Amino acid sequence: MNYYNEIKNELINNEINRKVKNYSINKSDLNAYYNVGKMLSEAGKRYGKNIIKEYSNRLSVDLNKNYSVRSLYNMRLYFEKICCNKKLQPVAAILMWSHYCELLRIDDVDEILYYINICKQQNLSKRELEQKIKSNEFGRLPETTKIRLRENQQVQVDDYIKEPIMIKNLNNYQIISEKILQKLILEDIPSFLKELGEGFSFVENEYKIKLGDKYNYIDLLLYNIKFKCYVVIELKITELKKQHIGQIQTYMNYIDKNIKTFEEENTIGIIIVKKNDKYIMEYCSDERIVAKEYFIK
């Protein structure tokens, strides 16, 4: 088999298809790059890894278009890493080629699958995907969540809450108090909600409730549309303490008793702290409560 001529013809046909069928450019690209990647993989086994460099030089001259070593290497990697993996085969053609060029830098198959699904669910652009990868979004997921995703188990409302939660300091505050921490969150509430996961919406900050003859204020009250439950958030600039558990539990019980309807699920609580004390959470009997560290960037 003359791998070079076959690769050259595949790329020429793809360019023709791109011009004639503009609406299906991405499908044409992925089909062509799959075929090219397959042939490059076979050619590499027969002639050695340097064959990509040779083909790059020849193709750039013969087709009068720059087919860099990197672009051909990505095509081979797309075939070997994405298309030949049983976990990724079912979703191998749902993204743009530019998305896959970002994903090919990742070695962990479960991480690649996570980002592919997130791209599909949230209709992410290449730049948005790049930002998620750069922020190590998958790496900040709880290990229990990764296991559920790996085994296709049903996820829970708190499964996608990152740790640490990244909070942007857009105005470069030097001293961070609880009020300032709340202000930072409110200044970019969409980014904060994305750090928590899917389906979260903002209800109110400093949400006033009356306990006996005294008023108390919930730092942030959210609602999760997907899981149909209220979410109480308390902000602490200290290490997690056991009294924080009692405080947020009281607020959650108040919402359950006075706000939520019969059709809605029980309220959950998120304590966002400077440092998470795992031992305190280990002895917290209320599974509706989670504690997460934050990081100011």
- pLDDT digit string (tens) for 214-269? 999 999 999 999 999 999 999 999 999 999 999 999 999 999 999 999 999 999 99
The whole-number pLDDT of residue 249 equals 97
Give the number of residues written for the chain. Answer: 297
The whole-number pLDDT of residue 24 equals 67
Model pTM greater than 0.85?
yes
Integer Cα distance of 51 and 40 in angstroms:
8
Top-level CATH class of 159-296?
Answer: alpha beta
The whole-number pLDDT of residue 79 equals 95
| DSSP output for 58-126 | HHHHHTTS---HHHHHHHHHIIIIIIT-TTTGGGTTSS-HHHHHHHTT---HHHHHHHHHHHHHHT--H
The domain spans of the chain are 3-84, 159-296
pLDDT mean over 147-167: 94
Q: Two tokens at 32?
A: 């062509």
The whole-number pLDDT of residue 22 equals 54
- pLDDT digit string (tens) for 19-73? 666 546 788 899 999 999 999 999 999 999 899 999 999 999 999 999 999 999 9
The whole-number pLDDT of residue 28 equals 85
| DSSP output for 208-252 | EEEETTEEEEEEEEEEETTTTEEEEEEE-SSB--HHHHHHHHHHH
The whole-number pLDDT of residue 92 equals 62
Q: Two tokens at 42?
A: 């076979």
- pLDDT digit string (tens) for 172-219? 999 999 999 999 999 999 999 999 999 999 999 999 999 999 999 999
The whole-number pLDDT of residue 6 equals 92
- pLDDT digit string (tens) for 96-151? 999 999 999 999 999 999 999 999 888 899 999 999 999 999 999 999 999 999 99
